[in-house]
Structure 1
Amino acid sequence: MIPYGKQHISTEDIRAVVEVLNSEYLTQGPAVPAFEQAIENYTGAKFAVAVNSATSALHIACLALGLTVDDWLWTTPNTFVASANCGRYCGANIDFVDIQSDTYNLDPIALKQKLEISRRHNLLPKIVVAVDFAGQSCDWKSLRSLANEYGFFLIEDASHAIGGRYLAKPVGDCSYADITIFSFHPVKIITTAEGGMTLTNDELLAKKMRRLRSHGITRDPAEMIKPADGPWSYQQIELGWNYRMTDIQAALGLSQLKRINEFVAQRHHIAKIYNEALKNLPLTTPYQDPDAFSAYHLYPVVLHDPSKRLAVFNTLRAANIGVNVHYIPVHTQPYYQSLGHKQGNYPIAESYYAGTISLPIYPQMTNDEQDYVIQTIKNALS
């Protein structure tokens, strides 16, 4: 099977993990802060907070920004459900904004139109979660301008996008977003097996998220509500969760980070071959915004005739090519339809979904494997 994506684990990665296994610390040791510091150095963000998944990162980001019952969180329908679920964890209401027809990212024009209507009804969002779909950055300059005008917080769900750039700056530097989220799931750009991270330039938000990832507990006397009993003291000052990353995971992440630019360069090489080989087929290859440098987490194509999608998908799977579909629009999921969201509300996202297939793209994909994928999709469409 040629999967749509997979991790690349080197001898150095294995050695890094074994070193931790042979050390005194498996969970709360030196590797986690070292990984956080390395991500800060790589992105230029001031503060990084490592957690056990990107879903956990989204949750504590929402909590740190004060999202609560009866607030509104808006996001894109073209994402994994976690980008919306994080708001529900806080008791907030969820709404969606349609996507651009070229980048498949949240559309700032549609967002502004919805904000104008919502302001008249006093239903503005507290948070907008915009997703750098497939590794390509959103129009963050426009989104930041709208956030300033309408008074909402911006979360950049960059789960697909570490290693990319926006306006020549690294994704994750938080020049535009209040908080940025990374994912280190095995199919992402780099992996910690499972894992995620929040990044921010706001020290108070970082401190809050550090507490929230660890039961709401502080050992800092300056944050304690009452005098400490002694040097052993800790105090739970709010409700938190056990979202901590282990030293084993962080050691893998540190090792993987050394090769991130190599990984992204190889993804671009593979994408370039696809672009050339597929350009005359009845499908649309991924558009690349000149303001962004994609990490190419995904390579989604859109068939011009959506009625052929199922047959093409099945043909590729039967040929041991592990294509997938990203994403089923969140508002069409039964859970969100039970909350009042309806099919037809976001036509561009639904139109994109109807014809899309994600082709395999990962750093160790061989030329022969890619040639086989290309020839098989050509045969399927002929």
Structure 2
Amino acid sequence: MNQLLDQLKNGSSGLTAGNKGNVAGSDIPVGLGYDNGLTGGTGNLSQTDGNGLQWVEPKDGIATDANGRPVSDKNSNNATGFSFATSFGAAGDAARQATSAVSTTVQNNIPGSEKNAAPVYTLPENSTLVGSRAMTALLGRIPIDGKVTDPYPFKVMIGKDNLTANGIELPDVQGAIVSGTATGDWTLSCVRGAITSITFVFTDGTVRTLPSPEGQGSNGGNQNSQGGNNSSIGWLSDDNGIPCISGTRKSNASTYLPTIAALAAASAAGDAVAENQNTSQTNGYGGVTSTLTGDAGQAVLGKALSGGMRETVDWVKARYGQTFDAIYVPPGQKVALHITRQLAIDYEEKGRKVKYDDFSLAGSSTGHGLMGIKMQNNKNLEYRVDYTPLGGRLFAGFCQV
């Protein structure tokens, strides 16, 4: 108690009416660790300067001289700066490196085409494009145990007039090419088509594929599919809206089954001939004893016939087992496209083009030609899709207008 009283007396004696406002830390109570050096300037608190600023020295700062050595009572070096603890320096550097790595990873994951792409059109979800024609035949394999191995692809052409007729105004798009895969339904004798990608061709020859090639199998910048096939962005139907297009059944059952039946019958006949030359009887131990009692030549002939037919059956099963049943729809079939995902049609200023004006082969007579026509300005190109019913042929490509 006496010691505290002495400290209070010593602290209050240093405060006068003329220096109350000039003593740094005068408002700090005595006994909180700032008793020494309140007025001498050697503690953690310094005097207030003429601008009213009060500088506080860092508690973890160590005074150092010009050579970076600590200044203490044992040497008379002049302090020129401070050194601070570096215990958390590694953690701070690691945090900065992690932040930089995350930022770099995010930037690298963004495709270069997406960085320079400008949004121009949107093909909304549940859009329907009617009046399109299948460029290729629709060949749908029949699933086996609910699975289709290596399904056949198909293509559908969409012209500019077709887009306009469906109420979709895409003035700078000349046409689109749709790709997908087909599966068959044996009971209904029809083909179902799943759309996997669409390529839009702009009037200047720039192409845009959705989903983007680097985004295949993922969202590709679009919404998730509502169907069971996550890679599908739509499906096909006929003009009447039936989601399964009628076709012709194609199967090798008419040749496979008779062949297997004949070979199996021949193998069974050989076994019967061989067994007919043997006599079987039951012994005293409950077993069956077979003894050759007939013509040995007939027995050998029967076994040879049975073994040969059995090997032939195995060979036929191995070869015919690779075949499949399918439903066939000829090319040129009118179909309707049903889009199940929103498609963001962006324009890439530096995207790939069908034809570049500043390129021509040396000594080429066509120069900037496309389809054998010499052209200097690709603005004269028009994407057209023509179908000849008599010849049953479908033409698609760029031509001069």
Give the shorter-chain TM-score range.
under 0.3
Larger strand proportion of the pair: 2
Larger helix proportion of the pair: 1
Looking at CA atoms only, which structure, 1 or 2, has the larger radius of gyration?
2
The answer to which structure, 1 or 2, has the higher relative contact order (CA under 8 A, 6+ apart) is 1
